[in-house]
Structure formats: structure tokens, C-alpha cells
Amino acid sequence: MVKVLDDRYDPRWAESWDAVGLVCGDPDASVTKVLFAIDPVADVVDEALAWGADLLVTHHPLFLRPVHGVPATSDKGRLVHRLITGGCGLLVAHTNADCATGGVSDALADALGLPPGKPIDPRPCDPMDKLVTFVPQVDAERVLDALAIAGAGAIGDYDRCAFTVEGTGTFRPLDGANPTIGQVGEVASVAETRLEMVMSRDRRDAVVAALRAAHPYETPAFDVIEVAGEVGPRGTGRVSVLDEAEPLSVFVQRVVKGLPATAGGIRVAGEPTRLVRKIAVCGGAGDSLLGSVRAIGADVYVTADLRHHPASEAREAAGGPALVDVAHWATEWPWLERAAEELEAGLTTGKARVQTRVSELVTDPWTLRV
């Protein structure tokens, strides 16, 4: 269960200051019910335990800052004790879900009826290597399969990707060698296949070990080449382009209809008649991206927790976007349904069906607007 979620929202993608992953619970425990929520607060824990959840998945961390203990005398410690006593684990997917393809901002864009978009602040792809080796032609397919099983040759939605070319290898075994082909002291020529496969850098050791185990030669020749990085599909925020421009007042109605209501409502900065077509969105607090949003020429920016000074400066800047400020909780809530679907889709066929549920509790901290 944890592996499925970690594969979809890899903890390595989280910001250095973040606290994600399994907070409490046994990763090997049997799970039949999973509750998804934004905040690990007391009311959500009540809901999880009353429903009989085995795992609670939240977007926001319970412990964002280090602690030295979790006694039941503290508010957060009490929640941990209640979860453990009730047999319910807690897993957090925060900034790793923010930047994931199909993550928080993609879900926000979908809720507003926007077409698929690209990140406002794209992340580099995971570091990649390329393995180049030389194998007797008769053994090439077998070695290729072994490398693929170890993690080489995975590109997007494809696996076992490789490039091969035929040639001739030559060598002379020296005293002390135990050659698979040829005799000590004699030059040997072998029909070989040059085999090239890419791999995620974190699979380097496993792939090289698989090569050594599967290769028929006593000392296989190979190169590992670090591949230049490139921008990938992951990143913070999303920017989409509508087929046709529409007045800001009409676009705001998309936000009203697409997101759950909160006591704080929605704040807008911009002329109602202004036409908007390029739309930037960011789930959660997004004023750190105001400069990037302006640089890409967005007409309007939907996010949460906009502060006075950054918002004022953005509005004063020539060509700046209109702003739509929504409750933090509301911008992230659409992701929960998607995360639940991803979990169900990622479970191995044949396992007992896991029941998922999205909490509808409004855990936005503001409860009244006067």
C-alpha cells in the first residue's frame, strides 16, 4: 500500500524542508479501508476511526518541524496515540504530490475545467545514466532481459528499450585468465552486439550488478555515461490556455462552481470585464510564484494565501495577471479523489479490493466571515 503511493508521489520529490511519508503504522499491515483528507486534525482522525480506516492519507504533514517525542499529553501526540490504538496508520504526501504529474495543481486545473497544462516552475527530470556494453550475439537477448529486470531501459510508458548494433570484438586472454571464449595467449575475435540502455541513476548499482551476473565473460567491458539533464513534466503549479478568452467575471464563476465553498469565500483582484485566456493555477500557498506567473504572460492566477504586499506589487506591475485568491484547503481538496483513484489503480490485480473514501469535512481553519 505504502509502495503504491510512494511510487505515485515519490518522497524524493518533496522539498528539503518538508516531512512526508509514513508517520505511524506498520507498512506491512493489512489494509482494507483508506481515508483521504487534507489535514490530519482531530475531526479527521475521528472520522477515520469511526469508519474503521486502516490508513489515513493526508496532504498536510502532522509534524512539519522536528519533535523529540509524541506523548499523549500534547495535541499532536494524542492524535498519534489514537491512530495507533485504533489500528490506523498515517501517511503524508505533501510537496511530493504538489509537483507530481497528475498531482495537486493538475487536479485543481481539472476542477476548473481547464485543458491540460505545463508546470509554472518545472522540475528537472530524474538523473539518468546510459549503460553501453558488448555481448556475444548469442547472449545479447538474455543479457538485455536481465538488465531490463534490474531497471534499465524504462522510458516513459515503455520498458525494455535498447539500441543494438552488430560488430566484432577482439581480445587476448593473458596468464591467469579463465576465458569463456578463446585460449590463453591467443587473439580471439567474437561476433558481438553493442547494447545501449538508459536507466535512472538510482538504479545504477543494481543494473551493473545484473550485468556482471548475466554477462558470459569473466570481465565484461562496459561504460556508464551520465546523461545531461532536461526539464521534465513535473513541477509546481500549472498553466493552461483556454480555446477562447472569456471575461474575468465569467472565469471566476468556474472557480465558484469547481471548488468547495468555505467561509472565507473567494477574493478577486482585476477588472471584471478583462478577457483572460492563459490561466495559471497553484494549489496551496502560491505567492512565491507570482514572478514566474507574470513572466509566462498569464492573464489570471488562481491560488491561495496571497499576502498584501506581493499581491499589491503584482497588480501594480505592468502586464501583471488578475488574481483569484481561494482558501488554501479548497485549492487542494480536488486532489483527494484523484489520489484515491490512483491508489486503487496501482494495486496489483488479484489483491483484495481496498475501499477508499474522501473526507468531506471542511478543515479550513476559518469558520466565519463578518
| Each residue's pLDDT tens digit, 302-338 | 999 999 999 999 888 888 999 999 999 999 999 999 9
For the chain, the straight-line distance linking the first and the last C-alpha, in angstroms and rounded, comes to 44
- So what's the pLDDT on residue 108? 97
Topology of the domain comprising 104-123+235-326: 3.40.1390
From the candidate CATH numbers 3.30.70.120, 1.10.3720.10, 3.50.50.60, 3.40.50.1580, the one assigned to the domain spanning 126-229: 3.30.70.120
Rounded distance between C-alpha atoms, residue 143 and residue 165, angstroms? 14
Q: Do domains 104-123+235-326 and 126-229 have the same CATH topology?
A: no
Confidence of residue 349 (pLDDT cuts 50, 70, 90): low
- So what's the pLDDT on residue 228? 84
Beta bridge partners of 267: 325
Average pLDDT across the chain, whole number: 94
* Domain residue ranges of the chain, discontinuous segments joined by +: 2-94+333-358, 104-123+235-326, 126-229
Average pLDDT over residues 357-363: 96
State yes or no: pLDDT of 230 exceeds 80: no
Class of domain 2-94+333-358: alpha beta
| Each residue's pLDDT tens digit, 251-266 | 999 999 999 999 999 9
- Helices and strands in the chain, H and E counts: 12, 16
State yes or no: pLDDT of 350 exceeds 80: no
Confidence of residue 229 (pLDDT cuts 50, 70, 90): confident
- For the chain, percent of residues with pLDDT exceeding 70: 99
The residue among 307, 300, 294, 249 whose CA lies nearest residue 109 is 300
Tell me which residue has cell 479490493.
353
Strands (E), the chain: 21-24, 33-37, 55-58, 89-92, 121-124, 128-136, 163-171, 188-200, 222-227, 231-236, 238-247, 267-269, 275-285, 300-304, 322-326, 355-358
